[in-house]
Amino acid sequence: MTHRIITHASCMDGFCSAFVFKKYLAQAFEVNQTKLEIIGLKPNDIETETVKIESRDIILDLPPAKTPFFCWIDHHTSNRDAHVKAHHQIWKATPSCTGLLCDIAQEKQITLPAAVKEFRHAIDIIDSAAYNFEDYKECYYPPQNPEKLSLLQKLHAIDAVFSTGDFQLNQELFSFLLQDPLPTAPQDLFDMHKLWIERFYKARLQSYQEWRTNIDTYMHFDTKSHCVIQDDRKAKVKRGLPDRFYVFAKHRNAIYSINIKVVDETVARIGIGTNIFEKPTQHIDVGATCKEVGKKFGQGSGGGHKVVGGCEVLVLNVDAALEFILEKMRNGN
């Protein structure tokens, strides 16, 4: 039987976690890296048992499955106390799951090339939203020098390939980029496939601008909760792909942001973040709040980190969930 890597879909940290495990850790866990199938899933797929998890599965950057499986490695604070039925289980609060995998490699005395150590710093910035304002402008707006992208820009360009908005296309491209032979580090994939990755990135940057122009028509700043609310139900049209930090670039004094997106006739997704530029010292535990909201107003899917997280709620409960979150923000608990 072959092992499968189950990792966070449409997520750069999930992608890079799969890359590092397959390239550098498979042998240490006695896994045949040439027979590894890689599947991207959303946390909800695990939590609601939409997808059957098998006994030889390796789950990275996601909640643990409810049935027995082979290996679980994660860093989300909302999963700290999870009940895990895995032969190998490692949890640690780190800026990225990829960074945790690099730490595990070092503990197992696996030598990581300098390019991987350099990349580890960049993926920590991306997954923990540790951008400064200059980093943000560099990655979310057209580059000043398209022929000389920074490491952060290259990773954003690769991320654009499997974050198109079409789940099946994302899955196909996700798996394609992770097929053998893998280069030394994820950023090397940019140079391997430069011609078409550049085009994905260019299109994505244009899409960000369309989205920014559109969201200005309905984004709202709630002064009592110090929260910018982006309720996509109020959008007259839908254009572009979300620039998730634009709300804080525009409202620099905000503490929080909330975005609401209706997925289908029964489910809506709510994302919560804190201001990455001003970095407020006092705020609610976002991951814990998302976990609570997912259980209270949905079917139990929710979690994240102290400063960012997401959950799914029933469409009929969206307004109640929003008011519940805003009230917690106003009270600071």
pLDDT tens digit sequence for 152-174: 999 999 999 999 888 899 999 99
Q: What is the mean pLDDT of residues 99-103?
A: 97
What whole-number distance in Å separates Cα of residue 321 and Cα of residue 260? 10
Tell me which DSSP letter residue 161 carries. H
By percentage, how much of the chain surpasses pLDDT 90?
88
pLDDT tens digit sequence for 184-213: 999 999 999 999 999 999 999 999 999 999
Q: What is the mean pLDDT of residues 290-317?
A: 94
What whole-number distance in Å separates Cα of residue 34 and Cα of residue 36? 6
Q: What is the mean pLDDT of residues 288-317?
A: 94
pLDDT tens digit sequence for 215-251: 999 999 999 999 999 999 999 888 999 999 999 999 9
CATH domain 219-331 topology:
Diaminopimelate Epimerase; Chain A, domain 1 (3.10.310)
What pLDDT is stored for residue 201 in this prediction?
Answer: 97
The ranges assigned to domains in the chain are 4-194, 219-331
Burial status of residue 69 (CB atoms within 10 A of its CB: 0-12, 13-18, 19 or more): buried
214, 235 contact by CB (below 8 A): yes
pLDDT tens digit sequence for 258-277: 999 999 999 999 999 999 99
Q: What is the mean pLDDT of residues 66-95?
A: 94
Q: Which DSSP helix (H) or strand (E) runs through 87?
A: strand 86-91
Whether pLDDT at 1 is above 70: no
Q: If we measure between CA atoms, which residue out of 170, 305, 174, 289 comes closest to residue 241? A: 170
- Quote the mean pLDDT of the chain: 94
Assign domain 4-194 to a CATH class. Answer: alpha beta
By percentage, how much of the chain surpasses pLDDT 70?
100
Whether pLDDT at 33 is above 90: no
What pLDDT is stored for residue 224 in this prediction?
Answer: 95
Domains 4-194 and 219-331 share a fold: no
What pLDDT is stored for residue 24 in this prediction?
Answer: 97
Whether pLDDT at 102 is above 80: yes
